[in-house]
């Protein structure tokens, strides 16, 4: 296809855009956003000037929504179909035109030209930015997936993280004064009028408080709440239609949209974000590798957030991270461990960890920013996730299917029998390589196929967990193309399984370590070895948990194995000692049975007390970084006070007595044939 033909096609598309949207040279529609008038008097409120009386009423009512309320949003927009049609026109038409242009370029071969591909990628990012916050959020998610998005588009979408176009600084200053009730000069010693960066929901200005603290001041975009409510109304109705008419969709899409709407409304409330930041900082105050900006509440409102200024570089800017003397791989490890702690320990996690919200600091800390989108995981769900990992590692696909029921992915009434072999087909081959080398994306793709075939439903809250992990994995892949999220996560799972006193996890630990009545020392070694890879491993606590397990109800089989091994070895010791003493006594004085067995004393050798279970456990502990024998000696008083230890002593005495009687009759008194 000739360049002339390609140019002609572009001109035709541009003409179509102009016919729809006017003479905008970018061809992108303006998002629905009422005109916001900057006040002449800095102390006067900001006024909206929509197109008509009905729209003014809608605008004011939508602006007054402080929480996500689907019924209220429906009441606002259901009576005005022209608003719905206008927004659909503003979104579907430009997207279709863009896709048509890309399709033409692919057909004509123009995309093979690197410059042409970069232009299309830039056009895609600009289109998403023009369509509004919902589309920007989608672009941000894609910008963290180098395994899905080609590099040229990845670079363009990365600009959506924190390099979006800002809005009029006069509007920002007016919003600050309107919300905080004071002139800007009364609050800040200095505040830059031009924004430092802009994101989907607001823009950030650098400043200095009267007390001299450097701060970042985030100001919300004008008209944001009104546009969000309309987009949510449209998407929610599309989701409802899909649920009613597309039988292949089993998930409750409306519930997913409602969950997203709730989170977005929380994100638009900067007072809520400030509370989230305080809670997050408190939860991680003992982690020397995590930094959280301080919130200045006296200069914070629903639309204005003033926080400590933190100097750092984006985690995905590898050259800049190395330039400040920080290892990007180490930063990824810190981020993965922190995210797992959020999900599985605290139950309060950052649901939007995109590259713009994670900064590497020169002192080796990882800074988290933007706490608007947070979520919580119940204790039961956190335990269920760890149990699912245990059953996956054990290849116990029957129990794994039950885990999906307890986690809410399957209903109680679902027949699990056909799902078990489906799980086996998905996971068995991947497990052959080991958990640490499992390809998470390939497995989840295969699992998606299983979810289509069976009545799975993704719980609404879980969508945010998936988003958080997928985003985190995308960031890690940009640093290390060989990164495996499960390999990075398993040491944390192992540590939690070894250290957590939760009764359900104690049962899961027993499932992991036993196969029937056989204790799997190799699994214990693997589990402790994986747990030791955690930089935050509490070795003293781990030893206590090993002892807790040994003397718990779940450790009964292990105690019995230790008693049996001890009885076996002590019986051998006693018999060998008897034979050696017999060789020193006059032969006529010995019983005939003992006399005939004296040659056995020369054939028996080796250590007398080689208790295999204790040797295996000692070898495992010796390999732990920082382990010292004194740690076990310090626990002797506790061991001596264990009732089960005394019970083990009684069992050993009984076992030795029984064996002694058998030896006396069989080996001493009775002459061998």
Which residues are the active-site residues? 352
Structure tokens at 542: 């781990």
DSSP 585-637: S-GGGS-HHHHHHTTHHHH--S-S---HHHHHHHHHHHTSTT--THHHHTTHH
Structure tokens at 91: 């979104």
From the number of C-beta atoms within 10 Å of its C-beta (0-12, 13-18, 19+), residue 246 rates as exposed
Distance CA(538)–CA(534), nearest Å, equals 9
Q: What backbone phi and psi angles, to 5 degrees, belong to 14?
A: -60, -40
70-77 vs 53-63: helix crossing angle, rounded to 10: 170
Rounded to the nearest angstrom, the gap between the alpha carbon of residue 298 and the centroid of all alpha carbons in its chain is 33
Provide the b/e sequence for 430-449 (b: ≥16 CB within 10 Å): bbeeebeebebeebeebeee
Distance CA(203)–CA(221), nearest Å, equals 7
**Residue 497 near residue 508 (C-beta atoms within 8 A):** yes
**DSSP code of residue 22:** -
Distance CA(286)–CA(538), nearest Å, equals 14
Distance CA(379)–CA(406), nearest Å, equals 12
**Residue 371 near residue 277 (C-beta atoms within 8 A):** yes
Dihedral angle over CA of 350, 355, 361, 362, nearest 10 = 160
Helix (H) or strand (E) holding 362: none
Comparing CA positions, the residue from 422, 429, 426, 408 lying closest to residue 453 is 422
Structure tokens at 645: 């230890």
CB within 8 Å of 97: residues ≥ 6 apart: 13, 16, 17, 27
């Amino acid at each position: 296809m000739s360049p002339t033909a390609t140019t002609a096609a572009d001109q035709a598309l541009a003409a179509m855009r102009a016919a729809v949207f006017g003479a905008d040279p970018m061809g992108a529609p303006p998002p629905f956003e009422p005109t916001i008038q900057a006040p002449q008097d800095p102390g006067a409120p900001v006024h909206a000037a929509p197109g008509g009386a009905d729209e003014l009423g809608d605008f004011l009512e939508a602006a007054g929504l402080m929480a996500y309320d689907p019924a209220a949003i429906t009441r606002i927009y259901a009576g005005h179909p022209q608003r719905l049609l206008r927004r659909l026109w503003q979104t579907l038409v430009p997207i279709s035109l863009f896709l048509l242009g890309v399709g033409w370029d692919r057909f004509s071969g123009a995309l093979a030209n690197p410059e042409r591909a970069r232009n299309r990628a830039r056009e895609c990012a600009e289109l998403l930015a023009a369509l509004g916050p919902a589309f920007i959020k989608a672009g941000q998610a894609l910008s963290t997936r180098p395994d899905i998005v080609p590099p040229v588009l990845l670079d363009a979408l990365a600009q959506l993280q924190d390099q979006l176009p800002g809005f009029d600084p006069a509007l920002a200053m007016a919003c600050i004064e309107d919300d905080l009730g004071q002139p800007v000069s009364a609050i800040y010693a200095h505040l830059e009028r031009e924004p430092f960066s802009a994101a989907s929901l607001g823009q950030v200005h650098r400043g200095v408080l009267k007390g001299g603290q450097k701060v970042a001041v985030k100001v919300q975009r004008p008209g944001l709440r009104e546009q969000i409510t309309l987009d949510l109304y449209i998407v929610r109705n599309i989701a409802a239609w899909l649920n009613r008419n597309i039988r292949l969709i089993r998930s409750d899409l409306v519930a997913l949209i409602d969950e997203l709407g709730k989170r977005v409304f929380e994100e638009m409330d900067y007072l809520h974000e400030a509370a989230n930041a305080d809670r997050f900082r408190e939860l991680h105050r003992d982690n020397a590798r995590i930094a959280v900006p301080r919130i200045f509440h006296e200069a914070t409102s629903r639309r204005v957030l003033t926080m400590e200024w933190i100097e750092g570089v984006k985690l995905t800017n590898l050259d800049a991270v190395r330039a400040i003397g920080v290892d990007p791989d180490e930063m990824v490890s810190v981020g993965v461990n922190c995210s797992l702690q959020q999900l599985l320990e605290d139950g309060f996690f950052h649901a939007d960890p995109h590259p713009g919200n994670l900064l590497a600091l020169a002192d080796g800390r990882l800074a988290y920013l933007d706490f608007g989108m947070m979520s919580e995981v119940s204790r039961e769900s956190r335990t269920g996730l760890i149990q699912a990992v245990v059953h996956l590692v054990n290849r116990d696909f029957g129990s794994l299917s039950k885990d999906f029921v307890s986690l809410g992915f399957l209903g109680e009434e679902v027949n699990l029998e056909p799902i078990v072999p489906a799980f086996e087909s998905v996971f068995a081959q991947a497990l052959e390589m080991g958990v640490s080398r499992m390809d998470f994306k390939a497995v989840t793709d295969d699992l998606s196929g299983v979810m289509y075939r069976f009545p799975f439903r993704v719980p609404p809250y879980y969508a945010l967990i998936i988003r958080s992990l997928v985003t985190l994995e995308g960031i890690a892949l940009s640093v290390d193309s060989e990164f495996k999220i499960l390999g990075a996560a398993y040491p944390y799972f192992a540590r939690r399984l070894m250290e957590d006193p939760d009764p359900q996890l104690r049962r899961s630990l027993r499932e992991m370590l036993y196969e029937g009545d056989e204790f799997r020392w190799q699994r214990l070694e693997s589990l402790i070895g994986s747990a030791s890879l955690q930089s935050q491993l509490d070795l003293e606590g781990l030893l206590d948990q090993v002892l807790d397990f040994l003397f718990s109800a779940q450790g009964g089989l292990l105690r019995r194995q230790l008693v049996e091994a001890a009885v076996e070895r002590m019986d051998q010791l006693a018999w060998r000692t008897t034979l050696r003493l017999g060789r020193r006594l006059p032969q006529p004085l010995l019983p005939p049975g003992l006399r005939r067995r004296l040659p056995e004393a020369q054939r028996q050798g080796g250590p007398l007390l080689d208790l295999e279970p204790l040797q295996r456990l000692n070898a495992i502990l010796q390999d732990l970084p920082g382990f010292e024998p004194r740690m076990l000696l310090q626990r002797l008083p506790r061991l001596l006070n264990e009732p089960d230890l005394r019970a083990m002593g009684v069992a050993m005495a009984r076992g030795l007595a029984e064996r002694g009687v058998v030896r006396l009759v069989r080996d001493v008194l009775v002459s061998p044939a």
